[in-house]
Amino acid sequence: LFYENGEVPFSGHTTQTDQFGLSLTVTLEQTTSGYATVRGLSLPRADVISAFATSVPAEFLPLVVQDSGGAPLRLLSPALVTPGALVSYFDSAIDDFWSQFSTTTFAYSAPSYTVEGTVDAMGRFAYTVTPTGGSPSAYFMAKPTTPQVFAGSGPFIGAGSQGAFLAELNAAFNRGIAMTPGEWANVAAYYPAGAPSNHYAKVFHVLSIQNLALGFPTDDAQGQSSRQTLANSLPPSRFVITVQP
């Protein structure tokens, strides 16, 4: 959460990017602007963990942390740990992306920039980012690892329009649609059956209010996070955090 009266608008979000341990909702209202939203998880904590354990592929099950008696305590995020087979879970998707765009040109258009690129002879993703009304800048991206995909780290870090693109690319890998940039803004295409994707994050999108959640570090790409932000720096008229049983 961040807010400075008269200076910085109130903004905040629920998040599961590190782990899940509490199920909660956040109500934010501002009478003067008519803003009123509720975000988060309204299901009991045990139901969330049960839904996770009964729906995710086997590779994600080691993320369930149990107490000494075997009862589930919380869920760890693959952005922090990649136990067992999860450490190589995205390897095939990464290889497919590198293979496809070594022979064809990658092209992506965002509202404020465009990107074109190919995988070069040195095995790097060589691409240019052109801001709307600006000049292109050239960059090189090393082939990422599965843990870097989950964490949005390493070659997915950048600044300005390049950083915005890398966040979109990282989100697309997590959502299982990196190969099809024309679908990156199509929420209905996310987490396709049979494609490697971040099932930890998927569970929170399925269960959260309006399917908005922050299940991995770049999950705010395409407006999919649970962020609540006022359009002015005046205080909220109502702010309530409700912890579910």
What is residue 3's predicted lDDT score, i.e. its pLDDT? 66
Q: Where are the alpha helices (DSSP H) in the chain?
A: 45-53, 91-103, 146-151, 160-174, 199-207
pTM above the 0.85 mark?
yes
> Does 117 score more than 60 pLDDT?
yes
2 bridge partner residues? 11
What is residue 8's predicted lDDT score, i.e. its pLDDT? 82
Which of the residue ranges 114-123, 215-224, 228-237 would you say has the lowest mean pLDDT?
228-237
> Does 1 score more than 70 pLDDT?
no
What is residue 7's predicted lDDT score, i.e. its pLDDT? 80
Return the percent helix, strand and coil in the chain, to nearest 5: 30, 25, 40
